[in-house]
Amino acid sequence: MNRAYAVMTALICLLFASAGYADQPHPWQLDLQAPATPIMHQIRWFEHYTLWFIVPVTLLVLVLLVVVVVKFRASANPVPSRTSHNTAIEIIWTLGPVLVLFFLAIPSFNLLNAQLELPEADMTVKATATQWQWNYEYEGTPAPVAFDSFMLKEADRAAAGKTDTAVYPRLLAVDNEMIVPVNKTVRVLVTAAPSDVIHAFAMPAFGLKIDAVPGRLNETWFKAEREGLYYGQCSELCGKDHAFMPIAIRVVTEDKYKSWLAQAATDLPGAYKALVAQADKPVDGVAVAANVSK
């Protein structure tokens, strides 16, 4: 019994350590990714809230279909009803959907307002999409920092120090992640190169999705509440390599962010190697997913 309890505790610790370290899709995942921002908390709540309406309505329609098939089939009801009007039914099927839509509309509009109303930002990053990469430009920094972010090639894993596919998965890991500090409001300016096509900047754990349109500057925001490495993808069909245009955002402490930013202005590869080496260390004596021996 004690051994089973210990195994269960270890599995729970590893589960939470992994979830805190990297948010990414998982095989057979049924729910949304764990929320890492206030907006995603609201989206996840709204998704669960709508199920209280979707499930009963679906079951009601199923029951009505079964009743119609059984009770009003030709053999059981050879003489069909000629009823042309029923006031009670008309009132019920008019007021019912109106009430359901009313209870869905209010929290939906509140969520949209929270997403679209940008708070005062602590920092601004411009994300420019081209076929098939992202370019990040940090605005208002002491020294200019701008870089391209490509999908990580398998041959480059060792040199980048990203050999663990559990943390840096194939087709999602990138060579240069967007680096932001935890608990800071980040304003993101999203666009696409003038001669390019429409892309979309999407980060599921942040509840973030906005189009990148050539010649147009869209803006959104997020405030990551926990450190970790988060993955998204371009979510607008943009050409033959659309599936190979991932987005990676690494959330770190403010001290680590400032150190990375200062070094990145003059030595971007070195800044990333130093940050990756620090991020992949065990946290508080508990091995994260990247360090669990197989």
What is the enclosing helix (H) or strand (E) of 95? helix 87-116
User: How many Å apart are CA 164 and CA 5, to the nearest integer?
Assistant: 29
pLDDT in tens, 138-188: 998 888 899 999 999 999 998 888 888 888 999 999 999 999 999 999 999
Extents of the domains making up the chain: 38-75+86-116, 123-282
Helices (H) and strands (E) in the chain, counts: 6, 11
Residue at token pair 């995942």: 29
pLDDT in tens, 34-80: 899 999 999 999 999 999 999 999 999 999 999 989 988 888 888 87
Nearest to 177 by CA among 220, 217, 224: 224
CATH architecture group of domain 123-282:
Sandwich (2.60)
Mean pLDDT check: name the lowest of 19-28, 59-68, 209-218.
19-28
Cα angle 68, 71, 77; round to 5? 115
DSSP-assigned states of every residue in 132-154:
TEEEEEEES-SS-EEEEE-BPPG
DSSP-assigned states of every residue in 240-271:
TTGGG-EEEEEEE-HHHHHHHHHHHTT-HHHH
| pTM greater than 0.75 (yes/no) | yes
Six-digit token pair at 17? Answer: 């350590």
Residue 275: pLDDT band (50, 70, 90) is confident
